[in-house]
Amino acid sequence: MNGTMNSRRILLIIGGGIAAYKACELVRLLRKQGADVTCVLTEGGAHFVTAMTLAALSENPVHTTLWDLKNEVEMGHIQLSRQADLVVVCPATADLMARMAGGIANDLATTLLLATDKPVLAVPAMNVRMWHHPATVRNIATLRGDGVSVMEPDDGAMACGEFGPGRLPEPIAIVEEIARMLGLCASTSSARSGSGESTDHDPARPEPVEGAEPVEGAEPVEGCLAGKHVLITAGPTHEPIDPVRYIANRSSGKQGFAIAAAAARAGARVTLIAGPVNLDTPQGVTRIDVETARQMSAAVEAALPADVAIMVAAVADWRSAGEAAQKIKKDGSGQVPPLQLVENPDILASLCQSDRRPALVVGFAAETNDVLDHARAKLLRKGADWIVANDVATHAMGGEINGLHIVTAAGVESLPELPKAAAAAALIERIADAIA
């Protein structure tokens, strides 16, 4: 036991899915980190793993029913839900999350989830169609809106023979997420090794940023955003014209994703709302994929409250006034179909005016000329605290390098030209300083 989670108390709720067997490995890894794990096994979960196995691995009694007189006298279910530092639901089945989203308390697990005053992490696992079902999508949005952290499931082959997202993330990734939620960034590297053996990398420091140049003060202090919820938008939006055509822009999402990765490394709970991009989700980041500006706007609203918002997305300013239900055809007459545009909601400006405005709101500005003048004007017009400007005439959108200018009411700080990961780390460090 290497003790990076020493005496942190985790209440682990095990739902009824084939992935329940992985919860046993999760218990083992958490114990290895020194965590105190108490398991709650649902009726469904008990079809896949036994209370005996979990009790042996956790070295604690396992709770299975609301109607246990002995347990209720010794420790009521309210106390059980409150004595933990973190409640983890793993696997979180579609049914369990539906009941959580609906506030239903019809067994021990859901009663504890309704009664708890502690952060909750749900680790979903289910069939790919169940994962994509609108009811599940709706329930997950509700849970996230209620402040529950919901991990993204892994992609791949499933026990049911189908393929796609829905697989339980690897236990080691769950341990890392738990460490982050407990504000223990330092535990992530040792958790990854899973053995407690020493590695070249000092676990008291975050992993180095890939491709980062050593820039003085560019590496955020580990844990400097612990306990903070950082909301980030990234990538372009696609605005449909008809079922096959859309309006888009050249944003790659790389800078926003690098900022999300840096914020997670700094210990924040990160919600990344991503337009259509071809990028992997950074470790420890909760990602919500959207396509249009209106979907992005709704997802931002659902993700509130947040301590910091960093709006990096290149949101399309306009969308087609109407989306044709069928492909618009060339009729050979040479007539060009009229394309009427309407303005999209300004997500950043609305957020700044919202009564749930985060304490620090950072906008981005991609400009081809008069970069600083446009950024200063945008700061006032949008009501943001900072505008981070970059010159997209010098560095084409989608590139690997950025020269950022942080424009605030107090003045401008221009960072050197840096790989996007290093620029992200420098920005996160300044954000952590600002909200400390």
Spatial distance between the Cα atoms of 183 and 346, rounded to a whole number of angstroms: 33
Q: Are 427 and 407 in contact (CB under 8 A)?
A: no
Backbone phi, psi, residue 189, to 5°: -70, -40
Q: How far is the CB of 23 from ligand C5P (least distance, A)?
A: 39
Name the token pair of 24: 């046993």
Q: Which is nearer to ligand C5P, 152 or 385 (CB)?
A: 385
Q: Which is nearer to ligand C5P, 58 or 249 (CB)?
A: 249
Strand pairing category for 285-289 and 269-274:
parallel
**In sequence order, what are the beta bridge partners of 387?**
363, 407
* Residues assigned a catalytic role: 160
Q: Are 43 and 66 in contact (CB under 8 A)?
A: no
Angle 200-430-314 from CA coordinates, rounded to 5°? 100
Structure letter (DSSP) for residue 2? -
Q: Which is nearer to ligand C5P, 125 or 232 (CB)?
A: 232
Q: How far is the CB of 344 from ligand C5P (least distance, A)?
A: 5
Name the token pair of 397: 């959108």
**In sequence order, what are the beta bridge partners of 320?**
341
Q: How far is the CB of 297 from ligand C5P (least distance, A)?
A: 8
Q: How far is the CB of 292 from ligand C5P (least distance, A)?
A: 11
Q: Which is nearer to ligand C5P, 139 or 237 (CB)?
A: 237
* Binding interface with ligand C5P (CB under 6 A): 233, 293, 311, 313, 315, 317, 344, 346-348, 363-365, 378
Chain centroid to Cα 89, Å, comes to 16
Strand pairing category for 229-234 and 308-311:
parallel
Q: How far is the CB of 414 from ligand C5P (least distance, A)?
A: 18
Q: Which is nearer to ligand C5P, 165 or 403 (CB)?
A: 403
